[in-house]
Amino acid sequence: MELLDLTFLGTAGSAPTARRGLPATLVRCGGDRLLFDCGEGTQRQMIRSVGLVPVDCVFVTHFHVDHFLGLPGLLKTYGLVGRTEPLRLYGPPGLRQLFGDLHPVIGRTAFDVVLTELEPHESVDRDGYRVEPYAVEHGPRAYGYVVAEADRPGRFDADAAAALGVAEGPDFGRLQRGEAVTGTDGAEVHAEQVVGEARRGRKLVLTGDTAPCELTRLAAWEADVLVHEATFAEEDAARARETGHSTARAAAELAASATVLLLALTHLSQRYPPTLIEEEARALFADTVVPRDFDTIEVPLPERGPPKHVHGGARERTTPAS
């Protein structure tokens, strides 16, 4: 899996604004498309940016309506455009009850909707990466999610292999897979002689709604990107604590302590100008961005540089809707 990026479809808090939709973030992992939360109007935000792409999985952080109310419309539209492949939905315990309550609205779909209730740290294993929920501080059933790529094999030193008498060809591949081979002189050559240490996989953390908490700091340790809510400015820190939300400053403190590469602040309230939120966070953690709807963050392999925030990046790769 080389491709890894995020598209911000909705970056507002509990109420949409003229320029910001309700919470929804699309993550591309190789050929997979993962949607984290699906606020009201998410399908419209998709159409305005990347197109009505076929999402593989939806991960719901919690059951406040601003985080899931876009699902009925998205499911119905997928049916109208002829989707047949299953859609997998994950969330905290209570997901099945939620969909039971929504059944009169959604009705039957032409494709399977597979519901899975996750316990904290119950990993969803995908091709080359995993998605793992952890409990955050926003009520009893609220999750953040870690998207973690598997470690990659170390670099293969072809010159060293040749010097040890290994012929170029299938034996090179066997060494890269960790197998031992026999050189032209009859000596056994082991992978550790020609393959470097494993290279770390990339990691994203999306908190959903939460007060800053130790589990987020642990989950985000040395993450490439931490997407953290910033519903309040520091002047309203008491209100943030009362409601299980975060200030921009507190999110920045957490990002600094977790040594993440890039902090992206979302779930913005219309109480404050985005520049205030950005300045408050950057005073403590310089590598902070406040994405607008349809911005992207590209996450290259670590040896190719740090994550890159691209203003309006989603519009540059629009796929026409069916």
Question: Among all residues, which ones are annotated catalytic?
Answer: 66
**Which of 208, 276, 225 has its CA nearest to residue 6?**
225
**Which of 104, 113, 126, 118 has its CA nearest to residue 30?**
126
Distance CA(306)–CA(73), nearest Å, equals 36
The encoded tokens of residue 159 equal: 């010159």
Burial class (CB in 10 A: 0-12, 13-18, 19+), 302: middle
- Residues forming a β-bridge with 143: 135
Buried b (16+ CB within 10 A) or exposed e, 56-95: bbbbbbbbbebbbbbbbbbbebbbeeebeeebbbbbbeeb
For residues 281 and 252, the answer to whether their CB atoms sit within 8 Å is: yes
DSSP code for 91: E
CB under 8 Å to 60, separation ≥6 — which residues?
37, 38, 67, 68, 89, 90, 91, 92, 95
CB atoms within 10 A of CB 33: 17
